[in-house]
Structure 1
Amino acid sequence: MHWIRWTDGDAEHTVRRRSETGMPRPVRVVPADDRLSAATAHRLACEGTALLWRGDFQQARQLLRAMARRIDRKAPAPAPAASPASAFHLHRRAAGHRARVLAKLLVPLGEDHTLGLRRAPDVRAACDEAYGPPRGGGPWAVPLRELLGVIGAHQWRTKGVDIPAIGARIHPHYGVFSPVRGEYVDLVARAPLPAAAHGATAFDLGTGTGVLAAVLAHRGVRHVVATDSNPRATVCAADNMNRLGLTSRVEIATGCGLYPPGRAALIVCNPPWLPAKPNSALEQGVYDPEGTMLHGFLSGLADHLLPGGEGWLIMSDLAEHLGLRSPGELHSAITAAGLHIQDRLTTRPRHRRSTDPADPLHKARAAEVTSLWRLRAVR
């Protein structure tokens, strides 16, 4: 959060600017309304000027879409002979530029999270969930693009995501990775439980919404301890366990790092799949710099497994297809951690981008395979 200032006529105004995505402070701020053209808005935003919207809310949404189209038309295309890694990094740079430019269109939020624009929806409940209840301090200015994400997250939280493996819905919170890609959940639902896991304890590392902990409990695991470094995730997982009536079976552990104390007969981990730096806290469910969580899981697994226990690593090979992880690197890391592969279950992605030839990473996405690696300690 930081302060921004602008002049409207002879009056100077100051307001707090909030952004969950960590966007830099604008070089200047100008008021804007329905008279502003998309071409002018795009030019000003590219120059670093923030546009504080004072007009119609629906018109602001249309302007944001028009700005996005202009950015996308100018996005550089990878050279025909470019490597997958080069194409990925070019795509990431373009996405970062797009996010920075679109974040320059700001809308005003009252101290009570009221959106004071014509034809604006009531966003107070959505903002309370994302930002916390109002604490005073005056009004805010927030990027419209981010506010639309907050509204969408509120809708997902209200509606929930259907999880056939548990016959119920999981309700993701803002800032917590949603289990909309159900193939990895299905892998955990059908993998054979090790004999040692019956009537024993399991760990779910990086639990997020708690969906995999719920699947394990649904399959009969007596006690699941779930961890996550993201405070939003532990609150979300606890909420979902309460909704599902699993609070006596699933323990949400906080402040213990990746692994909770003790050992377990089954340890499940679904780390971020791409070893790259996230552009914001909201991307930490997808990007894991240098594979820190992956290697933390592998290096600690043998010391936390009970005799006869298994570690289940859920990973996509998209990083290999993008040239971000070399072929055989994962196998080498597993061996170096004193582990051997008991089995490997695989599935293909079912999300829309895997079949979209217009996606800049289509070739890699079309070849992607998601795996559940059943690992045991070498004794």
Structure 2
Amino acid sequence: MTAATPEAQYIHWTENGTDHSALWRSESGMAPPKRIVIADDTTNADTAYRLACEGTALLWKGDFQNARQLLQALARRADHKGSKGKKAKAPKVPATPTEAFHLHRQAQSQRGRTLAMLLVPFEADYSIPLRRAPDVKLACNEAYGRGEHPFAMSLRELLGVIGAHEWRRNGVEIPALGERIHPHYGVFSPVRGEYVALVNEAPLPKNAKLAFDIGVGTGVLSAVLARRGIERVVATDQDQRALSCARENLHNLDLSRQVDLVKTNLFPEGRAPLVVCNPPWVPARPSSPIEHAVYDPDSAMLRGFLGGLKEHLTPGGEGWLILSDLAEHLGLRPREQLMEWIATAGLKVLERHDVRPTHARAADATDPLHAARAAEVTSLWRLAAA
């Protein structure tokens, strides 16, 4: 992927009486802003916030560090407005969990659009022509590939690229491996360690020398299975970033010879005595590529896995479904529906291994979805042909 694509889009603005344009980049698919004004160190936060809320983007031409401070000021205003609005419009009857979820997502989306209105320019080599701008060439090359054209994008997205570069460099400690996994930009980080532990501890089917890992992501589950003695793992994903990330991690763990990576939707060809899948847990529309690991409209991947599992299992084989019940507590997918999908697919439940999440949000009483998160359980469902 390079800075120029067949579907290239541009932004246009006027500066000192002269018309300008630049290639537009947005990983979330945000449309190019139609109204753009020049902003610099003299632009105050109240003016910038008003313009951003109105849908006017600010192309920054001042000091880079001042732009970061302005973005923080915009975030404070957005958060203050949100909390004040909630108090002013608090319903007499508390919202249902489903309503709370959709309101929360709506507020997140609006906040994201507002903060994305602060833009920074880039040269073709990913250098930023602003005072005190950091060197982000390596981070951008990791995220986007080789640059070819000057462009502009939101400062908020750039900070996400920089953060992803730090995650990739430092890695995430995986106790089940005693090693670090290094997530790439756009590939979901395995920070929820409880589901990895479930895969590491569940009893393996007898004579399971082959396993399929459906939706490989960073490669963490393939690595766990290989370390547990599975002689060959065939891991699939549709996302080239995920495949590249998994390939690098498996190489670093010296597991490349045990794991074959295949670019395909869901299942590879053939059958296996063990098929593992950790699909997105929440049936909702993602707002950015990385959210595809969490949000899946209409539970498409979950239903696809269950629907195709039986025909990809060897006799006596098992399918391991790793799934949180957060969607159930949010009223988005009842347990009865999951059980119906399992039965309709010609499957039965052999056993279920449960664990409670340990992430910070589960204990954060200020989280709008705290009640659902506090009740959440992550499960490994051991499934077999009925």
Range class of TM-score, shorter chain = over 0.9
Which residue matches 1:267? 275
| The 10-residue stretch of structure 1 (100-109 or 77-86) with the greater mean CA deviation from structure 2 | 77-86
CA distance in 2, matches of 1:8, 1:307: 69
1:51 and 2:58 are equivalent in the alignment:
yes
Contact 1:196 1:308 in 2 (8 A): no
Question: Map of 1:160-309 to 2, 5 A cutoff?
Answer: 160-197=171-208, 200-254=209-263, 256-309=264-317
Deviation per residue, 1:25-46 (Å, 9 max, x gap) = 2121111011111111111011
CA distance in 1, matches of 2:125, 2:234: 37
Which residue matches 1:152? 163
Which residue matches 2:140? 127
CA distance in 1, matches of 2:215, 2:161: 22
Contact 1:274 1:288 in 2 (8 A): yes
CA distance in 1, matches of 2:267, 2:193: 25
Deviation per residue, 1:23-71 (Å, 9 max, x gap) = 1221211110111111111110111111011111221111111111111
CA distance in 2, matches of 1:168, 1:100: 37
Matched letter for residue 54 of structure 2: E
Question: Map of 1:354-365 to 2, 5 A cutoff?
Answer: 354-365=362-373
Which residue matches 2:347? 339
Superposition deviation, residue 196 in structure 1: 3.1
CA distance in 1, matches of 2:375, 2:44: 42
Matched letter for residue 142 of structure 2: E
CA distance in 2, matches of 1:6, 1:188: 53
Deviation per residue, 1:93-139 (Å, 9 max, x gap) = 111111111111001111100122222211000000111112x23x1
| The 10-residue stretch of structure 1 (340-349 or 325-334) with the greater mean CA deviation from structure 2 | 325-334
Deviation per residue, 1:223-247 (Å, 9 max, x gap) = 0000011111011111111111111
Contact 1:222 1:249 in 2 (8 A): yes
Contact 2:306 2:342 in 1 (8 A): yes
Which residue matches 1:14? 21
Matched letter for residue 123 of structure 2: G
Which residue matches 2:41? 34
Deviation per residue, 1:154-203 (Å, 9 max, x gap) = 11111111111111111100000000111100110101111131xx2100
CA distance in 1, matches of 2:177, 2:95: 43
Per the alignment, in what secondary structure is the counterpart of residue 55 of structure 1?
coil
The sequence identity of aligned pairs, in percent, is 60
1:72 and 2:85 are equivalent in the alignment:
no
CA distance in 2, matches of 1:376, 1:130: 39
Matched letter for residue 314 of structure 2: L
Given candidates 293, 310, 323, the residue that maps to 1:315 is 323
Which residue matches 1:108? 121
Superposition deviation, residue 337 in structure 1: 0.9
Matched letter for residue 343 of structure 1: E
Given candidates 92, 113, 123, the residue that maps to 2:105 is 92
Gaps in structure 2 of 5+ consecutive residues:
1-7
Matched letter for residue 266 of structure 2: L
Superposition TM-score, scaled by structure 2 size: 0.95
Contact 1:264 1:304 in 2 (8 A): yes
Superposition deviation, residue 327 in structure 1: 3.1
Matched letter for residue 116 of structure 1: P
CA distance in 1, matches of 2:335, 2:216: 27
Per the alignment, in what secondary structure is the counterpart of residue 252 of structure 1?
strand
Aligned-CA RMSD value: 1.1
| The 10-residue stretch of structure 1 (237-246 or 262-271) with the greater mean CA deviation from structure 2 | 237-246
Contact 1:227 1:252 in 2 (8 A): yes
Matched letter for residue 205 of structure 2: P
Contact 1:253 1:260 in 2 (8 A): yes
CA distance in 2, matches of 1:189, 1:366: 24
Superposition TM-score, scaled by structure 1 size: 0.96
Superposition deviation, residue 373 in structure 1: 0.3
The number of residue pairs the alignment matches comes to 373
CA distance in 2, matches of 1:314, 1:36: 49
Superposition deviation, residue 13 in structure 1: 1.4
Gaps in structure 1 of 5+ consecutive residues:
none
Superposition deviation, residue 329 in structure 1: 1.5
1:326 and 2:339 are equivalent in the alignment:
no
Deviation per residue, 1:268-318 (Å, 9 max, x gap) = 000000001111222111101000000000011110001111000000000
Per the alignment, in what secondary structure is the counterpart of residue 52 of structure 1?
strand
CA distance in 2, matches of 1:2, 1:48: 18
